[in-house]
Amino acid sequence: MKMFVSERRNKIMNILYEKKRFTVKELALHIGVSEATLRTDLNKMEEEGLLIRTHGGAILNDESENETSFSAREKKNKQEKIQIAKKAFKFIEEKQCILLDASSTALELARYIKNQPIRLTVVTSGVLTALELKENPDLTVILLGGVVTNRSTSIEGTLGLSILDHVNVDILFTSGNGFSVENGLTDFNLYEVSLKKELVKKASKTIAIVDSSKIGKSSSAVFATPEDISTLITDNPVDSDIANRLKQKNIDLITPTLPSEASL
């Protein structure tokens, strides 16, 4: 059976996590595709910062390994994510039903929500996000069912999606490995991508909560196109070209208030 590009690249990453390095020849035999196809994949994945090409093969990029470790991602750009969370909270109204993915930015939003005097229903695919929110009795917390893996704090797969047939989701807050005006939100974990695509379909509105280090980057698979996204919230002003193109795509851009604006 023919493998999709994103599925193949996901498999490559899984093998890399396990073995740390491999040759193209070994990988071609393991996956069952040509060496030429794999070289194209590996070159593209190196551009995305997921791995480092070596003579005849590839090794795991330390940064990439850290990127996929949730504890490392949670610590990275923490202050920026807190800033994004405060901006995101302004979009939430009393008694709404919101959906939070399992991203570290959504976890910061959950921590902020937990301490606010607001009644909400929160559906999430994030195990840590659900545990964080359960402390507040004004919040009804629904954790989607599915597979929990050893490298992730996200529910993977679409087993528990039927629960979303029983609630009306006002807003999905989601992040990804990259965001670009051309592609929208992207990630390289095929299983998370398939789940996030379904979350986007179920929500009336999708808000991208993305720290600025990910803007302009693209990963293997798209889960939310620019047409799916109503608002992008980030922690730094973006350059005017990106801002203009977001406007053309009807995506509202929310960035930090400048000191001069804050004093008005």
117 vs 125: CA distance, rounded Å: 23
pLDDT band at residue 159 under the 50/70/90 scheme: confident
The pLDDT, as a whole number, for residue 260 is 38
Residues 177 and 102 in one domain: yes
- Rounded percentage of the chain residues whose pLDDT exceeds 90: 55
pLDDT band at residue 152 under the 50/70/90 scheme: low
Residues 42 and 168 in one domain: no
Of the residues 23, 48, 68, the one at which a domain ends: 68
The arithmetic mean of pLDDT across residues 47-65, rounded, is 74
**Domain membership of residue 32 as a residue range:** 5-68
Q: What is the CATH number of the domain that holds 40?
A: 1.10.10.10
102 vs 128: CA distance, rounded Å: 8
Residues 144 and 228 in one domain: yes
More confident residue, 203 or 48: 203
Residues 144 and 245 in one domain: yes
The pLDDT, as a whole number, for residue 221 is 86
218 vs 101: CA distance, rounded Å: 19
pLDDT band at residue 259 under the 50/70/90 scheme: very low
Residues 109-151: pLDDT tens digits? 999 999 999 999 999 999 999 999 998 999 999 999 888 866 6
Helix or strand or coil: residue 182?
coil
Residues 90 and 209 in one domain: yes
Residues 141 and 48 in one domain: no
Q: What is the CATH number of the domain that holds 80?
A: 3.40.50.1360
27 vs 8: CA distance, rounded Å: 11
The DSSP secondary-structure symbol of 255 reads -
Residues 151 and 182 in one domain: yes
16 vs 22: CA distance, rounded Å: 7
Q: Where are the beta strands (DSSP E) in the chain?
A: 21-23, 51-54, 57-60, 97-100, 120-124, 139-143, 147-148, 155-156, 171-174, 178-180, 184-187, 206-209, 221-224, 229-233, 252-254
Residues 63 and 117 in one domain: no
Alpha-helix residue ranges (DSSP H) falling in 50-178: 62-68, 70-75, 78-89, 104-114, 127-133
Tell which residue, 192, 186, 123, 179, has the closest CA to residue 152: 192
Q: Is the pLDDT of residue 254 over 70?
A: yes
149 vs 73: CA distance, rounded Å: 16
166 vs 96: CA distance, rounded Å: 14
243 vs 45: CA distance, rounded Å: 27
Q: What is the largest CA-CA distance in the chain?
A: 64
**CA geometry: angle at 103 spanning 197 and 94, to 5°?**
85
The pLDDT, as a whole number, for residue 87 is 96
Number of domains within the chain: 2
Residues 205-218: pLDDT tens digits? 999 999 998 998 88
pLDDT band at residue 76 under the 50/70/90 scheme: low
Of the residues 68, 95, 117, the one at which a domain ends: 68
pLDDT band at residue 264 under the 50/70/90 scheme: very low
Residues 115 and 35 in one domain: no
Residues 99 and 43 in one domain: no
Q: Is the pLDDT of residue 262 over 70?
A: no
187 vs 254: CA distance, rounded Å: 22
Per the CB < 8 A criterion, the answer to whether 100 and 126 are in contact is: yes
